[in-house]
């Protein structure tokens, strides 16, 4: 039976500890990026919805003004 050099086993153990130790911070960083992206998309959707409502409002005002002006033509 051959024995493994203790320095090798120590190096492997230390690299495993480093990976396990950095996992929570990596997970939190990924979560933060995903949350930021979701908020950004929500804001983009809100702006798009607001623009669409402005277009609908403009069309409504134009139709109302057209009807008001048409009342004077019928008399």
pLDDT digits (tens, 9 = 90+) for 51-63: 999 999 999 999 9
pTM over 0.85: no
pLDDT of residue 75: 53
pLDDT in tens, 7-46: 888 888 877 777 777 888 889 999 999 999 999 999 999 9
Domain boundaries, the chain: 45-75
Tokens of 12: 């492997």
SS3 36: helix
């Amino acid at each position: 039976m051959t024995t493994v050099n203790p320095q090798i086993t120590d190096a492997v153990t230390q690299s495993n500890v480093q990976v396990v130790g950095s996992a929570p911070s990596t997970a939190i960083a990924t979560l933060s990026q995903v949350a930021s992206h979701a908020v950004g998309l929500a804001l983009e959707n809100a702006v798009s919805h607001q623009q669409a409502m402005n277009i609908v409002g403009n069309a409504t005002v134009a139709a109302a003004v057209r009807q008001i002006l048409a009342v004077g033509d019928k008399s």
